[in-house]
């Protein structure tokens, strides 16, 4: 009985196992089939997705092409319209005699802009940088503000001119100057007040008959100077921007923060750079005096002595040192007094063919400007000699640089006509050498956008210097790097000799270009010294000659000064300077 029971149970178990195995198989099959189906589904979905993706890609491609063709069409028609408008404007201008506007056009211009009435073409023959009709509207002296980062250059310019030169977003975010800043200021003298309180400075749009605002005075002041500040960045990586600014400086303010030991690296580097440029007129501003006085008066005297020792043996050796607080405007009147009395009025040749070096260029049109409101390109710079007038035909060299089919560089100078002249907010009928001016031209504004024409020279057609592709430079090499903190091993700051085939960066006027040294020669053992040995900066230089193939062609002339830098520790460092002695020129395209 027990045995039967056991057999039955075994059969039951076998059946159960059998069914279980069957079920398992079924499940596995099901699972497999489902998986298969899923896979197929997935493949199907993928296929569908791919198709959709391809279709959408094709759709986007088509719509992109459509948009592109519409844009191209719009651009072509816009360009045609622009060209029509420019042609018409050019024809209107062409109706005048070649160099001047006719009486009717001058009248129209003056009706549109009554400010211009202060200037007439008749005045042009007897102008000087201090003529009231000139300084009423335009700055005639360029003053650079140089020195170490955050020593107060922009703050001092603002204290004198009322203009905040830090304008670009990145500059505001990082609170440093990145591009060259500009600001014009008029300096007046009160006939009754004692010096230095009698010296007052205002922005360049102030009227000429301003009243003295010293307590109880109210006398009418005399406009004695109209100056233009070139605010240089103090950061070490922006040295070549500073050198571009140095190309147009007549004088400089070296700003030294009194609350720090002197010299800081860029204080030395900037002073050496202006020394190289043979700039003799330098005023030293001992800034942030408010901070030092809080500590002690002795600290101010100690700092003064440090500055005095630092400038020994340099171009600034005899320069006055003016204590000042740019932020609190303390002693800013004394700075103005020295600007008027210590800096001589630069002598310029007003009768020469005009030559303006371009240090900025802009597109002044706002996004979305319509064709009829579109303005031509604007270039900014300083006239070195001669006078530019509205209506003048001009040429810009080297102009547009491109390569031909064989890879050879070609230059196409830009020819245009001046339609407006502007000194900050003042419209001009003519502009003289000195302060920075904006020149409105009848050229496509895309050519002048984003400083594209910096380094070019503007003048009368056919009267500009040649374009050079290769130059021979009589040069001096600095012995040691300037602008590098002299801690630790000083030997690492020694400047190695220039070798053939090395690439350096060259600054000529406002142009900056890399160039490959093809030959270096020792010509004589003549040495030149600029800095006192005491301060362990730079002392002796040997004169040599190097021949350089320039990466970008330069519009320059024999005798022009050149500063050059070498890439050291990922930064370009000033290592020497020289003078162009000869060169190879290139023809220009029409
Ligand atoms: N207490 C005090 N602070 C000052 C004075 N002048 C400038 N500052 C401050 O110093 C900082 C740097 O001033 P900036 O004028 O931007 O210096 P900068 O030399 O133009 O700087 P970079 O152009 O970037 O080289 C700012 O925060 C100023 O407010 C001053 O006379 N006294």
Note the ipTM here.
0.98
Q: What is the mean pLDDT of residues 281-303?
A: 87
pLDDT band per the 50, 70, 90 thresholds, residue 200:
very high
Report how far residue 76's alpha carbon sits from residue 67's, in angstroms, rounded to the nearest whole number. 14
Ligand 1 centroid to Cα of residue 153, in Å, is 6
Q: What is the mean pLDDT of residues 22-48?
A: 54
Q: List the beta bridge partners of residue 228.
A: 142, 184
Residues with CB under 6 A from ligand 1: 149-155, 176-177, 233-235, 287-288, 290-291, 325-327
Mutate to test the pocket of ligand 1, among 144, 154, 242, 259 (most ligand atoms within 8 A of CB): 154
ω before 398 within 30° of 0 (cis)? yes
- Which region among 138-152, 337-351, 481-495 has the lowest average model confidence (pLDDT)? 481-495
Residue 226 has pLDDT above 80, yes or no: yes
Ligand 1 centroid to Cα of residue 499, in Å, is 40
Q: Which residue, judged by its Cα, is nearest atom 8 of ligand 1?
A: 152
Range from 138-152, 220-234, 273-287, 453-467 that averages highest in pLDDT: 453-467
Ligand 1 centroid to Cα of residue 288, in Å, is 8
Which of 399, 413, 504 shows the shortest CA–CA distance to 452? Answer: 399
Ligand 1 centroid to Cα of residue 226, in Å, is 24
Instruction: For residue 340, give every residue at least 6 positions away whose Cβ sits within 8 Å of its Cβ, in sequence order, or none.
Output: 187, 189, 199, 224, 225
Ligand 1 centroid to Cα of residue 327, in Å, is 8
Residue 337 has pLDDT above 50, yes or no: yes
Report how far residue 232's alpha carbon sits from residue 229's, in angstroms, rounded to the nearest whole number. 9
The closest-lying atom of ligand 1 relative to the alpha carbon of residue 232 is 23
Instruction: For residue 9, give every residue at least 6 positions away whose Cβ sits within 8 Å of its Cβ, in sequence order, or none.
Output: none
Rg (CA), the chain: 35
Mutate to test the pocket of ligand 1, among 146, 149, 151, 155 (most ligand atoms within 8 A of CB): 155
Q: What is the mean pLDDT of residues 179-186?
A: 78
The closest-lying atom of ligand 1 relative to the alpha carbon of residue 266 is 25
Report how far residue 256's alpha carbon sits from residue 6's, in angstroms, rounded to the nearest whole number. 110
The whole model's pTM is what? 0.70
Residue that wins the pLDDT comparison between 2 and 42:
42
Ligand 1 centroid to Cα of residue 266, in Å, is 15
Phi, psi of 586 (to 5 degrees): -130, 155
The closest-lying atom of ligand 1 relative to the alpha carbon of residue 291 is 1
Q: Which residue, judged by its Cα, is nearest atom 12 of ligand 1?
A: 150
Report how far residue 533's alpha carbon sits from residue 490's, in angstroms, rounded to the nearest whole number. 14
Q: List the beta bridge partners of residue 229.
A: 143, 183
- List the alpha helices (DSSP H) in 136-288: 153-161, 169-174, 239-246, 265-276
Residue 189 has pLDDT above 90, yes or no: yes
Decide: residue 82, CB within 10 A, 0-12 exposed, 13-18 middle, 19+ buried. Answer: middle
The closest-lying atom of ligand 1 relative to the alpha carbon of residue 148 is 25
According to the model, what pLDDT value does residue 42 have?
59
Q: Which residue, judged by its Cα, is nearest atom 6 of ligand 1?
A: 152
The closest-lying atom of ligand 1 relative to the alpha carbon of residue 324 is 31
According to the model, what pLDDT value does residue 44 have?
57
Mutate to test the pocket of ligand 1, among 145, 149, 150 (most ligand atoms within 8 A of CB): 150
Ligand 1 centroid to Cα of residue 362, in Å, is 28
With b for 16 or more beta-carbon neighbours within 10 A and e for fewer, the 432-454 pattern comes to bbbbbbbbbbbbbbebbbebbbb
| CA angle, residues 499, 503, 506, in degrees to nearest 5 | 110
Quick one: how far is CA 282 from the chain centroid?
A: 22
Q: Which residue, judged by its Cα, is nearest atom 24 of ligand 1?
A: 176
Q: Which residue, judged by its Cα, is nearest atom 9 of ligand 1?
A: 152
Q: Which residue, judged by its Cα, is nearest atom 21 of ligand 1?
A: 150
DSSP H or E stretch at residue 135: helix 132-135
Ligand 1 centroid to Cα of residue 154, in Å, is 7
| CA angle, residues 578, 584, 585, in degrees to nearest 5 | 115
Ligand 1 centroid to Cα of residue 311, in Å, is 22
Decide: residue 565, CB within 10 A, 0-12 exposed, 13-18 middle, 19+ buried. Answer: buried
Residue that wins the pLDDT comparison between 31 and 351:
351
Q: Where in the chain is the domain with CATH 3.40.50.300?
A: 132-342
Q: List the beta bridge partners of residue 572.
A: 567
- Which region among 11-15, 169-173, 240-244, 256-260 has the lowest average model confidence (pLDDT)? 169-173
According to the model, what pLDDT value does residue 40 have?
55
Ligand 1 centroid to Cα of residue 301, in Å, is 21
Are β-strands 436-441 and 378-385 bridged in parallel, bridged antiparallel, or unpaired? Answer: antiparallel
- Which region among 382-396, 426-440, 531-545 has the lowest average model confidence (pLDDT)? 531-545
Q: Where in the chain is the domain with CATH 2.40.30.10?
A: 355-366+373-459, 467-586
pLDDT band per the 50, 70, 90 thresholds, residue 538:
very low
Residue 30 has pLDDT above 90, yes or no: no
The closest-lying atom of ligand 1 relative to the alpha carbon of residue 330 is 31
Mean pLDDT value across the chain:
77
Ligand 1 centroid to Cα of residue 572, in Å, is 25
Report how far residue 354's alpha carbon sits from residue 368's, in angstroms, rounded to the nearest whole number. 35
Residue 575 has pLDDT above 50, yes or no: yes
The CATH number of the domain covering residues in 355-366+373-459: 2.40.30.10
Ligand 1 centroid to Cα of residue 254, in Å, is 13
Q: Which residue, judged by its Cα, is nearest atom 14 of ligand 1?
A: 152
pLDDT band per the 50, 70, 90 thresholds, residue 97:
very low
Measured between alpha carbons, how far is residue 71 from residues 68, 79, 444, 478 in Å? 5, 12, 18, 54
Ligand 1 centroid to Cα of residue 151, in Å, is 5
Percent of the chain scoring above 90 in pLDDT: 22
pLDDT in tens, 294-317: 777 788 889 999 999 888 878 888
According to the model, what pLDDT value does residue 403 have?
83
Are β-strands 388-389 and 511-528 bridged in parallel, bridged antiparallel, or unpaired? Answer: unpaired
pLDDT in tens, 454-484: 889 999 999 999 999 999 998 877 776 765 6
What does the longest C-alpha to C-alpha distance in the chain come to?
A: 145
DSSP H or E stretch at residue 305: helix 297-311
Residue 287 has pLDDT above 90, yes or no: yes
Report how far residue 437's alpha carbon sits from residue 524's, in angstroms, rounded to the nearest whole number. 42
| Per-state percent for the chain, helix, strand, coil, to nearest 5 | 35, 30, 35
According to the model, what pLDDT value does residue 536 have?
41
Quick one: how far is CA 225 from the chain centroid?
A: 25
Task: Return the CATH architecture of domain 132-342.
Answer: 3-Layer(aba) Sandwich (3.40)
Size (the chain), residues: 590
- Which region among 49-63, 66-80, 114-128, 313-327 has the lowest average model confidence (pLDDT)? 66-80
Ligand 1 centroid to Cα of residue 438, in Å, is 28
The closest-lying atom of ligand 1 relative to the alpha carbon of residue 287 is 31
Q: What is the dihedral of CA 27, 33, 38, 43, to 10 degrees?
A: 160
Measured between alpha carbons, how far is residue 462 from residues 5, 398, 413 in Å? 125, 12, 10
Mutate to test the pocket of ligand 1, among 147, 149, 151, 152 (most ligand atoms within 8 A of CB): 152
- Concatenated DSSP letters of 39-70: HHHHHHHHHHHHHHHHHHHHHHHHHHHHHHHH
Q: What is the mean pLDDT of residues 318-333?
A: 92
Ligand 1 centroid to Cα of residue 573, in Å, is 24
- Concatenated DSSP letters of 313-364: TSTTTT--EEE-BTTTTBTHHHHHHHHHHHSPPPP--SSSPPEEEEEEEE--
Residue that wins the pLDDT comparison between 56 and 490:
56
Report how far residue 109's alpha carbon sits from residue 116's, in angstroms, rounded to the nearest whole number. 8
Q: What is the mean pLDDT of residues 553-568?
A: 87
According to the model, what pLDDT value does residue 285 have?
94
Q: Is 24 strand, coil or helix?
A: helix
Are β-strands 388-389 and 378-385 bridged in parallel, bridged antiparallel, or unpaired? Answer: unpaired
Residue 148 has pLDDT above 60, yes or no: yes
Report how far residue 480's alpha carbon sits from residue 324's, in angstroms, rounded to the nearest whole number. 32
Q: Is 467 strand, coil or helix?
A: strand
Q: Which residue, judged by its Cα, is nearest atom 13 of ligand 1?
A: 152
Instruction: For residue 398, give every residue at least 6 positions away whose Cβ sits within 8 Å of its Cβ, in sequence order, or none.
Output: 411, 413, 456, 467, 552, 553, 554, 555, 588
Residue that wins the pLDDT comparison between 333 and 346:
333
According to the model, what pLDDT value does residue 2 have?
46
Confirm if 442 and 417 have CB atoms less than 8 A apart: yes
The CATH number, out of the four listed (2.170.190.11, 3.40.50.300, 2.40.30.10, 3.10.580.10), of the domain defined by the range 467-586: 2.40.30.10
Residue 291 has pLDDT above 50, yes or no: yes
Instruction: For residue 317, give every residue at least 6 positions away whose Cβ sits within 8 Å of its Cβ, in sequence order, or none.
Output: 311
Phi, psi of 264 (to 5 degrees): -85, 160
């Amino acid at each position: 009985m027990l045995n039967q029971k056991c057999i039955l149970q075994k059969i039951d178990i076998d059946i159960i196992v059998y069914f279980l195995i069957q079920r398992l198989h079924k499940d596995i099959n099901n699972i497999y089939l489902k998986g298969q189906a899923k896979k197929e589904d997935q493949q199907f979905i993928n296929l569908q997705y791919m198709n959709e993706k391809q279709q959408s890609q094709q759709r986007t491609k088509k719509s992109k092409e459509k948009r592109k063709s519409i844009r191209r069409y719009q651009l072509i028609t816009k360009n045609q319209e622009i060209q029509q408008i420019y042609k018409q404007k050019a024809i209107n201008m062409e109706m005048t005699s070649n160099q001047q506007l006719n009486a009717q056009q001058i009248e129209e211009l003056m009706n549109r802009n009554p400010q211009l009435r202060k200037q007439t073409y008749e005045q042009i023959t007897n102008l000087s940088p201090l003529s009231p009709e000139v300084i009423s509207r335009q700055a005639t002296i360029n003053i650079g503000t140089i020195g170490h980062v955050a020593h107060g250059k922009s703050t001092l310019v603002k204290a004198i001119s009322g203009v905040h030169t830090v304008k670009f977003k990145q500059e505001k975010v990082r609170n440093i100057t990145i591009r060259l800043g500009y600001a014009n200021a008029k300096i007046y003298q009160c006939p009754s007040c004692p010096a230095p309180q009698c010296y007052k400075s205002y922005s360049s749009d102030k009227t000429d008959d301003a009243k003295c605002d010293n307590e109880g005075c109210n006398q009418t002041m005399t406009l004695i100077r109209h100056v233009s500040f070139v605010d240089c960045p103090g950061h070490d990586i922006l040295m070549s921007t500073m050198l571009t600014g140095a190309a147009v400086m007549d004088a400089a303010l070296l700003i030294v923060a009194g609350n720090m030991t002197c010299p800081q690296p860029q204080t030395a580097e900037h002073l050496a750079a202006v020394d190289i440029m043979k700039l003799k007129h330098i005023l030293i501003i001992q800034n942030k005096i408010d901070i030092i006085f809080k500590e002690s008066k002795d600290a101010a005297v100690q700092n003064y002595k440090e500055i005095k020792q630092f400038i020994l043996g340099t171009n600034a050796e005899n320069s006055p040192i003016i204590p000042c607080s740019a932020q609190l405007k303390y002693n800013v009147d004394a700075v103005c007094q020295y600007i008027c009395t210590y800096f001589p009025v630069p002598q310029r040749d007003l009768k020469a063919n005009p030559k303006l070096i371009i240090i900025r260029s802009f597109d002044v049109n706002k996004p979305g400007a319509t064709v009829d409101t579109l303005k031509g390109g604007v270039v900014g710079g300083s006239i070195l000699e001669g006078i530019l007038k509205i209506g003048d035909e001009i040429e810009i060299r080297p102009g547009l640089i491109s390569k031909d089919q064989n890879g050879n560089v070609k230059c196409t100078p830009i020819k245009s006509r001046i339609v407006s002249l502007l000194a900050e907010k003042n419209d001009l009928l003519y502009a003289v050498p000195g302060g920075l001016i904006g020149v409105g031209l009848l050229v496509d504004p895309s050519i002048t956008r984003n400083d594209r024409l910096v380094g070019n020279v503007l003048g009368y057609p056919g009267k500009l210097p040649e374009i050079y592709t290769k130059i021979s430079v009589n040069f001096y090499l600095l012995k040691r790097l300037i602008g590098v903190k002299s801690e630790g091993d000083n030997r690492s700051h020694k400047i190695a000799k220039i070798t053939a085939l090395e690439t350096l960066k060259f600054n000529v006027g406002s142009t900056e270009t890399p160039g490959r040294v093809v030959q270096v020669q020792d010509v004589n053992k003549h040495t030149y010294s600029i800095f006192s040995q005491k301060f362990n900066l730079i002392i002796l230089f040997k004169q040599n000659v190097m021949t350089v193939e320039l990466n970008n062609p330069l519009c320059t002339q024999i005798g022009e000064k050149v500063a050059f830098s070498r890439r050291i520790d990922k930064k370009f460092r000033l290592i020497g300077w020289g003078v162009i002695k000869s060169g190879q020129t290139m023809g220009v395209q029409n």
